Amino acid sequence: MKRYTTTIKDWPEAERPRERLIKWGPDKLTDAELLAILLRVGGREDTAIGLARTLLNHFGGFQGIDSKSVAELCQLNGIGPAKAAQVKAALEIGKRFNTSSYQEKRKIESAEDVYNLLGPYLKNMEREVFKVVLLTSRNTLIAEKTIFEGSLTESLVNPREIVREALNAAAASIVFIHNHPSGDPAPSRDDKQITTRLINACQVVGINVLDHIIIATHGYFSFADEGLL
């Protein structure tokens, strides 16, 4: 049986997402309308905006979509590699735009600065990632480095590797950062023990540890802000 379907081209011009964006601005569009513009066309049985709603509902909004790979997005009916790549590219542009001001500023003055720099990349990741931010004596950003990916345990954190990265970059100060895929930024007992171990290693070579920040889906925990350093 043939289903009666319409496309967005059949809609009144004032209701089409692209025309609405041009006339009223992107801030007036819903998440589904913005996503529909990226998708451009829908599937066999739905419009682009219907497919966008399905995508947002299935994965739990933009954060959920961001946490999925192209292959995982393609498991949804109507989403192929091209559409998935377009969506992932747009999300990456958003993250880079969000962090560009902090990269240009080149100055890290608080845990909030670190969160704004790396939070968009770490908060939705499904695996743990441990990074360091290397700074000059004036807290100017030198670089940020990924030390390892995987479950954070004391056996996997190598203080010598971290110290080597800091010395190679001639860093005076350092900030440790890792994420909690569970969504809860509160530090575990292992997190506290690892932090103490790393601080002791850095002190031996005169590197100042400014903070250890744990990033989660809805916020962060700062050891420095909580007086735990």
What mean pLDDT comes out for the span 18-40?
Answer: 86
Per-residue pLDDT tens digits for 144-165: 899 888 765 544 678 999 999 9
**Position with higher pLDDT, 19 vs 99:** 19
pLDDT at residue 149, rounded to an integer: 82
pLDDT at residue 15, rounded to an integer: 64
Contact between 37 and 21 under an 8 Å Cβ cutoff? The reply is yes
Alpha-carbon span 54 to 120, nearest angstrom: 24
Alpha-carbon span 215 to 203, nearest angstrom: 24
Start-end ranges of CATH 1.10.150 in the chain?
8-96
pLDDT at residue 91, rounded to an integer: 85
- b/e for 40-65, b at 16 or more Cβ within 10 A? eebbeebbbbbbbbbbbeebeebeeb
pLDDT at residue 99, rounded to an integer: 62
Considering 8-22, 27-41, 48-62, 214-228, the range whose residues carry the highest mean pLDDT is 214-228
**Minimal CA–CA distance to 63: which of 140, 10, 125, 108?**
125
pLDDT at residue 111, rounded to an integer: 95
Start-end ranges of CATH 3.40.140.10 in the chain?
106-222
pLDDT at residue 10, rounded to an integer: 52
pLDDT > 70 fraction of the chain, expressed in percent and rounded: 86
Q: Among 1.20.1250, 3.30.300, 1.10.150, 3.40.50, what is the CATH number of 8-96?
A: 1.10.150
Considering 39-53, 54-68, 96-110, 183-197, the range whose residues carry the highest mean pLDDT is 183-197
Q: Among 3.40.50.11540, 3.40.140.10, 3.40.50.150, 3.40.50.10480, what is the CATH number of 106-222?
A: 3.40.140.10
Whether pLDDT at 69 is above 50: yes
pLDDT at residue 196, rounded to an integer: 94
pLDDT at residue 40, rounded to an integer: 80
Judged on CB neighbours under 10 Å (0-12, 13-18, 19+), 160 is: exposed
pLDDT > 90 fraction of the chain, expressed in percent and rounded: 37
